[in-house]
Structures are given as C-alpha cells and as structure tokens.
C-alpha cells in the first residue's frame, strides 16, 4: 500500500488535478515504449536484497520509471518517493500515487528536516525510498549530501538507476527534462548497491558523495 507522509503542506485542487492528468499521460506514454531492463528486452525485476533500499536516479529521468515500477524495482516491495514541498511537488506526489507509490514531502531547500525524518521512518518501516539526488532544483547531475546522510543513518544501500534513450526530447528546464519519443527504446540498468559507512570523516564523506555522483553520471547518454 502506498504511504504518504502526513504534513501541514496544503495542496491546491489544481495541483492535484494536474498530477492525475500527468499520471494518465505517463501511463499511456509508457505503453508505447520498448523497454530493456539490465540488458534484457522487456520488463523484468532485478535481483535486490529484501531489506529496504534507497533508489537514486537523476531528476530529468523520472518520467520513464513509474509506469513500469511495479514490474521492476518495485515488484513485491513497498516504495515511497521524495517530492518537494512546493505545488510542483504536490503534482508529482499525486501522479506517483497512481502507480502505487507513496510520497514524502520535503527537499534540500524546503522542509529538509521533515524530509530526512520521513525517509528514515519509511526505511525503518520497510519501505524503499526513491530519490532524485540533484532535485528539486539542481544543480543538474550533482548529488546533494542528503541521500548519503540517510544511508549512513539507516544502513540502507543506495541503488543507482541508469536510464538511456534511443530517441528523446529534452525540455528547456534546469535539468533538461527528458521525454522519450513514442515507440522508442528505453534502456534501464539497476546498478550495484553502494554501501555507505556510518563513520566517515569530512573527506571520506565527500569522496563517497562524488563516487555516487560519478556512477550516476557514467550512466547518462547526454554528456
């Protein structure tokens, strides 16, 4: 069952309606795409340890995953996504709910403490957490420290998700948001887990953050 963090964030009716509309578009769009998961044609679930994990993918690739989440990384698992506390975050949270994904509201810029507490609680309750480590406003392809801190505090492994496109449009947004063209190929790879030691000093923490960032960047097809 989807789980949504209870907060005082007020969501307008317009934001919710936009979220439902976005969810329907994503569902229909996803039906046209030719997926390849971990090098194999079609939609299949990768091998992931049963303990709750943190899935990480770049912000500009979030359009592709929800329609097939229940058949891939989320198969047989409970999952929540981190969304911002803004109206855009309400739209995204509503859209994700259409795919059985709960939401935790907050970001590095707004309600950061609430978001961190919410993610820790979700992981300890057995939910996987899906994050975009460069969101919600960038810089693009730069991992923010929050995801490392959560992994340290909970012991959860971070699984990077790489998505490449056979043909796609890139919008003129801060992240160059990617929308695959209908009937195009989408290649998705669930990379090896990153285990974050709990006792890193400042230099070790930064080295670990950069290692995750480099891993995610290496999986891009637009650099």
pLDDT at 58 (0 to 100): 97
pLDDT at 115 (0 to 100): 83
Provide the domain limits for residue 61. Answer: 14-218
Report how far apart the first and last C-alpha atoms of the chain are (Å, whole number).
Answer: 38
Q: Is residue 209 within 8 Å of residue 145, measured between CB atoms? A: yes
pLDDT at 187 (0 to 100): 98
Model confidence pLDDT, tens digit, residues 76-89: 999 999 987 778 88
Residue 2 is assigned to a structural domain of this protein: no
pTM of the model: 0.91
Model confidence pLDDT, tens digit, residues 86-103: 788 889 999 999 999 999
Model confidence pLDDT, tens digit, residues 8-55: 455 678 889 999 999 999 999 999 999 999 999 999 999 999 999 999
| Number of Cβ within a 10 Å radius of residue 35 | 20
Residue 181 is assigned to a structural domain of this protein: yes
Region of 39 (left: φ > 0; alpha: ψ -120 to 50; beta: rest) is left
**CA nearest to 216, candidates 56, 55, 52:** 56
Q: Categorize the per-residue pLDDT at 1 as very low, low, confident or very high, splitting at 50, 70 and 90.
A: very low
Residue 8 is assigned to a structural domain of this protein: no
pLDDT at 2 (0 to 100): 45
Residue 93 is assigned to a structural domain of this protein: yes
Mean pLDDT value across residues 154-169: 97
Residue 99 is assigned to a structural domain of this protein: yes
Model confidence pLDDT, tens digit, residues 192-206: 999 999 999 999 999
**CA nearest to 103, candidates 1, 212, 216:** 1
Q: Is the pLDDT of residue 104 over 80?
A: yes
Residue 30 is assigned to a structural domain of this protein: yes
Strands (DSSP E) along 112-152, which ranges?
A: 128-131
**CA nearest to 130, candidates 181, 179, 79:** 79
Residue whose token pair is 């995610």? 216
How far apart are alpha carbons 200 and 221 in whole angstroms? 32
pLDDT at 19 (0 to 100): 94
The tally of domains found in the chain comes to 1
**CA nearest to 144, candidates 220, 59, 68, 218:** 59
pLDDT at 152 (0 to 100): 96
**CA nearest to 106, candidates 96, 94, 118:** 118
Residue 142 is assigned to a structural domain of this protein: yes
Q: Categorize the per-residue pLDDT at 108 as very low, low, confident or very high, splitting at 50, 70 and 90.
A: low
Cα-based torsion angle of the residue sequence 63, 67, 73, 76 in order, rounded to the nearest 10 degrees: 150
Q: Is residue 147 within 8 Å of residue 56, measured between CB atoms? A: yes
Q: Is the pLDDT of residue 6 over 50?
A: no
């Amino acid at each position: 069952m989807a789980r949504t963090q209870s907060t005082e964030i007020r969501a307008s009716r317009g934001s919710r309606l936009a979220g439902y509309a976005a969810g329907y578009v994503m569902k229909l769009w996803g039906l046209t795409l030719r997926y390849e998961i971990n090098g194999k044609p079609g939609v299949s679930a990768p091998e992931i340890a049963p303990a709750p994990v943190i899935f990480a993918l770049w912000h500009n690739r979030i359009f592709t995953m929800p329609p097939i989440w229940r058949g891939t990384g989320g198969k047989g698992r409970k999952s929540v996504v981190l969304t911002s506390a803004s109206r855009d975050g309400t739209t995204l949270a509503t859209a994700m709910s259409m795919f059985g994904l709960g939401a935790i509201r907050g970001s590095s810029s707004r309600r950061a403490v609430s978001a961190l507490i919410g993610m820790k609680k979700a992981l300890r309750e057995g939910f996987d957490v899906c994050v975009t480590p460069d969101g919600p406003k960038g810089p693009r392809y730069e991992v923010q420290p929050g995801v490392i801190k959560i992994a340290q505090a909970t012991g959860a492994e971070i699984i990077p998700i790489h998505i490449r496109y056979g043909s796609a449009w890139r919008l003129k947004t801060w992240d160059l948001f990617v929308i695959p063209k209908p009937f195009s190929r989408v290649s998705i790879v669930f990379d090896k887990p990153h285990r974050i030691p709990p006792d890193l000093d400042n230099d070790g923490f930064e080295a670990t953050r950069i290692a995750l960032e480099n891993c995610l960047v290496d999986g891009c097809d637009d650099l």
